[in-house]
Chain A
Amino acid sequence: MASNRKNAHRARPVSRRRFLEDAGSVAALGAATTALGPFAQPAMAQTDLRKQILGIPGVDKGSPTDADWQKVGELCLGPTKANVTAGEFKGVELTFMGLNNQNLHNLLFRGFLKPWETYTGAKISWIDLAQADYNPRLQQAIATGTVDFDVLEMGAPFEGDVCGKGLASEMPDWVKKQVEIDDYVDYLKPPVGTWNGKTYRVTIDGDCHNFNYRTDVFSDPALAKAWKAAGNTSEWAVPKTWQQVQAATKFLKGRKIGGKDAWGYLDAPKPWGGFGFYFLGSRATAYAKHPDDKAWLFDVDTMKPRINNPAWIRAIQDVVDALPAEPPDQLNADPGTAGFQQFLAGTGSMLSWWGDIGSVARTSDASVVGKIIAFDILPGSDDVYNARTGAWEKLASGPNYAPNCAYLGWGMYVMARVDGDAKKHKAAWSAAAHLGGKDLSLWTVMYPSGFQVHRTSHSNVDEWVDAGYSRDYISSYLNSQFGSYNHPNRAVEPRIPGIFQYYSVAEDELAKVFAGRLDAKTGADNIAKAWEGITDRLGRANQIALYKASLGA
């Protein structure tokens, strides 16, 4: 079968996708060999179970189906059976609220939990929400006191809204053991998932922005020659700092690669329901997140916004300066457009995004860059702003890197309303623990699920290679992910109530700046003013307390 597919591929006329793939494949092999560094563990002995589930249905064997999800759920029932007797939850009815993005999330959970329901006797009813409806639905339920679900799929940024208001149930110790909570990567360990010292979340996802780049562009001899001819003293190479990203982006305007326009970095200036702010954040963290300071968005003691300090203004100005060198319609590109319609389709050579790009580049028919991209942590900066001293500093260690751990991934939460019913309480936590099980999580991060690596055990490259991934590609990808998660200067998002309100307001002001209606300083001042208003409206004292708790400060 494999050879048939290969021959069929050869028989095809040269398409843009094939041209790009072939042109960059050699370069990709060379450039994607970034060592996994401290995370390249010796091959961990794979259990039979892990091998078995990773073969369902098998990489390159089409998308998994509901039958596959049920099979995986059935095979991963072992930890549940150790804590729950058969039929123990008979008569218990649970309501589960989660997403149905891209036919993933809840649809997978249904399959995974079907054998759990059969074994335990519990019954689950489902509330499926589109991403856009999720936040309003959750906020309405909280504000109107109509929490009508027992188990909730939720992102850590909302922990302030839910755990901070006492709406979540504290995780029992047996669940911590069942999900092997110590296996979580460092940045997803407390304070993430906890509130006031209590643990609430079963983590099922990890999120950070990494740097995706085109290997063919940065290994192209013609571009290297032109780079030198343009008077640059450095070598033509993958940018490691935002200063280099800016220079490469401006240089690439008007250049060609394989007869096509070779654009540089792709910004995402169009508002995206608050999520677009993360993309400015990725440009700003290297400037704004000082290694000696946990905070980078607000001052810890006052919640005074830092968005209008010189570091953030510089990041905003970088976007303004880069936009004229980006594709002509970039002003109307949101992150989805930049990632999926541009970068994966062959437009642009550098992009900050969540790990989805790497996991989709080789599995989506829409992608033409699967063999010509590689990954790294976000670029750094030659200097970093110290908000405490109010001065720019050059670190003795070199450029400042501060990966943007944006959104902190999805998790399972059990609502406090089950606390009064011991049987229901155990059933709800058992369901959450099943979905967040160690072995099951390996399957979800390897196959289409909407979730990315979030456990140390996910860094075992051999398991990925055995499942069908190429070693170079997956090493580069995992290195960028774990390198971000475990970076000592990672910028972790504050988990405070209403965080998306701050982002949404910022998006509106930034849109004016990017369109040239305001300068960067005025726009940043406007955002700061609006943020102060939001903090006052939500209760400053409370926000400060929750901000401190979320930072562990």
Chain B
Amino acid sequence: MGKTPAFVSELRFLKMNAKAQNTNDPWLHQFAVLTAIITFLLLGIGGLVTSHEAGMSVPDWPTSYGYNMFALPIKFWKGGAFFEHTHRLLASGAGFLTTILVLWLFGKNSRPFMRWSGFALLAIGIASEYLFPNRWLDGVLYSATGLTSYIASFFWPRCEWSVKWLRWLGVLTFLLVVAQGVLGGLRVTMHMDSLGIFHGVLAQFFFVLTCAIALFTSRFWGELAAKQKTFSVPRGLRSHVLFVTILIFLQLILGATMRHQHAGLAIPDFPTAYGKIWPDTGADAIAHYNTQRMDVNGENPITAFQIILQMIHRVAALAIFAGVAAAAWLSRKRLGGKNPLTKLAWFWLALIVAQILLGAWTVWSNKAADVATAHVLVGALSLVMGAFWCILAFHHSISLPEIVPATTTSDAFATIPALAANK
């Protein structure tokens, strides 16, 4: 007995998947899209917090200036506190939406959990009223949330739960949003800039997950499985795109590290760096750069490390551009111009071009907060596009050896009898 061909197992998986997807709900998908959009906005406001150097403007957490976060008087929403507090509120909203999304993925099976957790929250709220009367609003909020959860359990959708892996993806997303909230809070209370880097990077990963859930609950995804649509993606191309996507993620980590140095622009010019292709990072040169820097935000003096970090960021940007351009060109050549993966690759390339222009504009504008934040957001979208490409290619493709000269999807089907029959 020989080994089962890879495409046969793929088809089995797709058929199973199709059955599971048929149970999905368009409302669930729309809710997942809403969660992803709110997460995107949250990334934006988080980016503005860092761009405005406002991360520590509200020194306490989970309270804000000693108030319950949801009851901070509007007169305090000024300057850096406006961005930081809005970020906290929107983060709470994203956490709330993620919780509902995960419960929805569990369908009618969430009802008992909602009932009991609602009951527990109600009890905590009432106990809190007695134990901490001066923090009465906290107790009211716990009680209200608990009561809402308890009542909602009776009206909760009676749909079946989603496929197991999607449910666990939802649970992972929920755990991540909780971890994100705690990380953001600890970054404030522990005065740790390094936690800000983790917070920023985890946010990008969380955004990818929410977008992925939106994709997995979509009709498009369901149809791909139900109609057994497959893409004949050569293994080499898939690996190439995976590598570029990982490179983008590493680039985002680099970007977050640069932003959380709180040193402003380490290099004030582009495409040159202090007038050269590679800047002088000797002690005298660094001292001279710091003499000439006149930042309103009066950041820390820059160091050779920060300059080298930005140079690596620039070089990595070029590598990513080359990688995505190659992915688009190879997709067109191997999959054909009409293949969804090719279209996605071209859109991805357009995003990368926009991202490079925004990076340049960030330097030219002396790191204007809105431009730098747009750079963060397009970076996040670029990561999502790479992730989507990989998900579609790895989940909906047949393992096609490199030697098969497939120039279009039709050609690829033609080369494999089993698939040609299914066509």
- Asked if A and B bind, the verdict is no
Binding site for A on B (CB under 8 A): none
Binding site for B on A (CB under 8 A): none
